[in-house]
Amino acid sequence: MRLLLVEDDLVLSRSLEIDLGAAGYVVDTARDGVNGEFLGATENYDAVILDLGLPKLPGIEILQRWRAAGNSVPVIVLTARDAWHEKVDGFKAGADDYLGKPFHPQELLVRLQAILKRVHSCNQVRLNVLGVELDEDEQTASVNGGPAHALTAIEFRLLRYFMLNAGKVLNKAQLSEHIYSESSEPDSNVIEVYVKRLRRIVGSDLIQTRRSQGYVFGAKP
């Protein structure tokens, strides 16, 4: 899953990048409002974590611009401005969640998981699709109640993206975009290698190849 983090506090931004990366997210960052607004308007993100007190362009105005343009990307507002009326303003501007500073990183992670599951119509405590259960804390997968298989970081990112987009045709470019950062994006043939690895865990029939199109996890609803 690919996230945009718009935060001008360099120490906090770097700390969150580490926490989010360890949780299996690819993270792009912006340090000011202008760059953040541009990235959120032009790139395909699964969610955005947005500070309000940004240089050059306030976060609340960024959010209003995105929503006015029909951009429905899920947004968690992260800010020290957490009075009740400021939260109301944030939600009215289009925020999906609102977390006041200071906060514990684990709270941000569970709120992020909850939003992503809601967007993809999954409300289980653990992600469970077609008999495959993904433990996002342990980064393991089990099939039909069997033993848990430890996943590598890329296997975990790829399987989570497949499961949240079950039934959809996903091409290699889409998969690479959501599991690799721009600085480390490999040749798309590497995706084939990881798909092969996942098939050994979840079963060869569950991830179907669509010739010249990409892959589909599970049957189309």
Structure confidence by residue, pLDDT tens digits, 25-68 = 999 999 999 999 999 999 999 999 999 999 999 999 999 999 99
**Residue in the structure block whose two tokens are 């790829």:** 158
pLDDT at 78 over 50: yes
pLDDT the model gives residue 221: 45
Kindly report the number of other CB atoms within 10 A of residue 129's CB atom: 21
- Alpha carbon distances (Å) from 25 to 6, 81, 99, 153, 219: 15, 26, 19, 9, 26
pLDDT at 220 over 60: no
Selection from 101, 202, 100 nearest residue 156 by Cα: 202
Q: What is the pLDDT of residues 189-211, one digit of tens each?
A: 888 999 999 999 999 899 999 98
